[in-house]
Amino acid sequence: MTSHRLTPTDPSMAAEGFALFRDAYLRARRAIPLLPELTEDHEARLRRRVERAFARGGFAVWHGDSLRGFMIAGPPFAFRGSTAALVPEYGHAVAEGEETTLVGPLYAAVAERLAGEGVPLHLIGHFAADAVTTSSLFELGFGAVVRERLRDLSDVAVRDAARADHEAWLARVERVPQAAAWDRLAPLAAEHAAYYLESPLFMVKDASLEAAMADLEAHRSAGDAAYVVRDGDAPLAYLIVGRCPGESEGRLLAGTATAQVRSAFVVPAARRGGIGGALLQHAVDWARDAGFERLFVEHESANPLGAPFWRRHFAPFLVFSMRYVDRMA
């Protein structure tokens, strides 16, 4: 990086920083056209996110008077029993063709600052289509933890041999009324939370019935739709779909015509029989009828049961990677 110089960022650089991020977004959209078009409103929302990142401050790389890249971490937060910080997907960008040269020095500067602040867990969101940045982060010690994916609202693809089973499951899917019937999903939702404790996920979630009921009530109050398959009175599987809020996940989709699979779970005895595809078809139908343009899902990459299903039916557009730093400065 002998022809470049590294400096702290300041808010006056935000416009140039957004231009770099905008170019990266457009490259990602060429690879995944399902990403929302950069309308005037959507571009303004993304620009505000980049401006907020520059208000916090990070590091920039220059070639002469030209900004060639930047990286900015957000504030520390508690994550997986440790203190973490996230470089959000809009908190970094590098000029096309300079990823191999610049990602490493930018992260080194950010990592040094985070270590000095006592933050050992570093996360970064990056475009799935940017293979060079993904490879650079892997060489720096990062591994994927979460993926964000999109699909269009065409019908769920089903093999001819599985068509009869698919049709049978479709007929068994019920929409849960927007009333007290949501509470009947609570035991299954609690089982879903407990599933994350298992290997290889090892994620601690509140698996109490009370937490499950509160979570379901939040979905119901937001106007989400819940679909369930029952064996008698006992639910075997459920899927909740609603508008993508674009807050803690799907931030690049905020304010766009995007629906989201908010939660989904199938009991072990009913897996791999086509029940998931039937539930997803009802979510697609709901999104299409409600006027959405695409369907979004976020999932843990280490989920051995869910991840293959989401890979089969959705295309990745974002990856969140994580690295643990042993030594604090």
pTM score of the predicted model? 0.94
pLDDT on residue 299: 96
- Tell me which fold the domain 154-292 belongs to: Aminopeptidase (3.40.630)
Q: How many other β-carbons are positioned within 10 Å of the β-carbon of residue 202?
A: 11
Going by DSSP bridges, is the β-strand pair 82-87/121-127 parallel, antiparallel, or unpaired?
parallel
- Rounded to 5°, the CA angle 183-292-179 comes to 20
pLDDT tens across 138-167, in order?
Answer: 999 999 999 999 999 999 999 988 899 899
C-beta separation of 76 from 27 below 8 A: no
Helix extents (H) in the chain: 14-31, 40-56, 99-116, 131-139, 163-172, 186-195, 209-221, 275-289, 306-313
Which amino acid is residue 288, in one-letter code?
A: R
Query: 20: part of which helix (H) or strand (E)?
Result: helix 14-31
Confidence band for 65, pLDDT divided at 50, 70 and 90? very high
Cα 145 from Cα 318, distance rounded (Å): 11
Cα 207 from Cα 28, distance rounded (Å): 37
Phi-psi region of 198 (alpha: psi -120 to 50; beta: other; left: phi over 0): beta
List, in order, residues 6 or more apart from 165 with CB less than 8 Å away: 273, 274
Question: In CATH terms, are 5-147 and 154-292 the same topology?
Answer: yes
C-alpha dist (Å) from residue 77 to 84, 120, 234:
5, 11, 38
Residues of the chain with pLDDT > 90, as a percent, come to 87
pLDDT on residue 226: 97
Beta bridge pairs of residue 79? 82
pLDDT on residue 329: 55
pLDDT on residue 248: 92
Q: Give the pLDDT mean for 273-278.
A: 92
C-beta separation of 207 from 263 below 8 A: no
pLDDT on residue 169: 92
Q: Give the pLDDT mean for 92-121.
A: 96
Cα 252 from Cα 246, distance rounded (Å): 7
Report the mean per-residue pLDDT for the chain: 95
* Residue 270 pLDDT exceeds 90: no
pLDDT tens across 3-18, in order?
Answer: 899 999 999 999 999 9
Helix extents (H) in 155-313: 163-172, 186-195, 209-221, 275-289, 306-313
Length of the chain: 329
* Residue 313 pLDDT exceeds 80: yes
- The domain segmentation of the chain, as residue ranges, is 5-147, 154-292
Cα 116 from Cα 328, distance rounded (Å): 6
* Residue 2 pLDDT exceeds 70: no
Please name which of 291, 222, 316, 234 lies closest in space to residue 262, comparing C-alpha atoms.
222
- Tell me which fold the domain 5-147 belongs to: Aminopeptidase (3.40.630)
Lookup: tokens for 86: 């996230």
* Residue 23 pLDDT exceeds 90: yes
Please name which of 157, 169, 164, 88 lies closest in space to residue 123, comparing C-alpha atoms.
88
CA distance from start to end of the chain: 24
Lookup: tokens for 139: 């060489």
pLDDT on residue 224: 97
Please name which of 241, 266, 271 lies closest in space to residue 191, comparing C-alpha atoms.
266
Cα 256 from Cα 243, distance rounded (Å): 9
pLDDT on residue 1: 59
Cα 105 from Cα 83, distance rounded (Å): 23
**In this predicted structure, which of 26-35, 215-224, 281-290, 320-329 has the lowest mean pLDDT?**
320-329
